């Protein structure tokens, strides 16, 4: 299983400067590829190159201790794999949050459109209500004019 990290990430993980990494690339000591101008390094191959250097520095400092080379390689490889998984899950989380954000924006726009439609409906209904009220006033006046005189004339003249 191959895991690829950018040269910058590889530099951060290993603590090596970029010049050393580029030197190793030009000497073809580590497996690399270039995509869109970004250099990616195979972490398994990179750990095999770093572990001997680390072993040399450890052996200079501590001659009495013996460190299992396979254990160190597996540990570094495991750490790099976990690092890749964390980065992948971070990217996945970011993409999910972006999708949710787009969904919420679309929902907000939809609600705003509905609100504008409802406002226009309220204006239309308010206008219709005002027209009905004016018509009712007119009908009341007309009724009083038509029937008011008849009612006054109809009043009984005898008072018991």
- Give pTM, 2 decimals: 0.41
Task: Answer whether residue 141 is part of any domain.
Answer: no
* Model confidence at 65: pLDDT above 80: no
Look at the chain and report how many structural domains it folds into.
Answer: 1
Task: Answer whether residue 62 is part of any domain.
Answer: yes
Give the rounded percent of residues in the chain with a pLDDT score beyond 90: 34
Task: Answer whether residue 150 is part of any domain.
Answer: no
- Give residue 59's pLDDT: 53
DSSP alpha helices (H): ranges in 4-68? 7-14, 18-26, 43-61
Task: Give me the domain span that covers residue 80.
Answer: 4-124
- In this predicted model, what pLDDT tens digit does every residue of 95-124 receive, in sequence order? 999 999 999 999 999 999 999 999 999 999
Range 79-108 average pLDDT: 94
126 — pLDDT class (breaks 50, 70, 90): very high
Residue carrying structure tokens 């690399």: 32
Beta bridge partners of 38: 35
């Amino acid at each position: 299983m191959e895991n690829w990290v950018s040269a910058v990430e590889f530099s951060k993980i290993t603590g090596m400067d970029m010049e050393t990494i580029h030197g190793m690339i030009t000497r073809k000591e580590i497996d690399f590829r270039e995509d869109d101008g970004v250099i990616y390094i195979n972490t398994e191959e990179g750990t095999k190159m770093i572990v001997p250097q680390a072993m040399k520095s450890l052996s200079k400092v501590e001659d009495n201790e013996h460190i299992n080379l396979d254990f160190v390689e597996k540990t570094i490889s495991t750490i790099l794999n976990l690092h890749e998984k964390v980065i992948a899950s971070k990217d996945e989380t970011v993409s999910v949050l972006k999708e949710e954000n787009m969904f919420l924006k679309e929902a907000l726009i939809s609600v705003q459109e509905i609100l504008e439609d409802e406002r226009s409906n309220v204006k239309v209904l308010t206008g219709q209500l005002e027209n009905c009220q004016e018509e009712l006033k007119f009908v009341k006046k007309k009724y009083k004019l038509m029937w008011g005189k008849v009612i006054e004339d109809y009043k009984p003249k005898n008072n018991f």
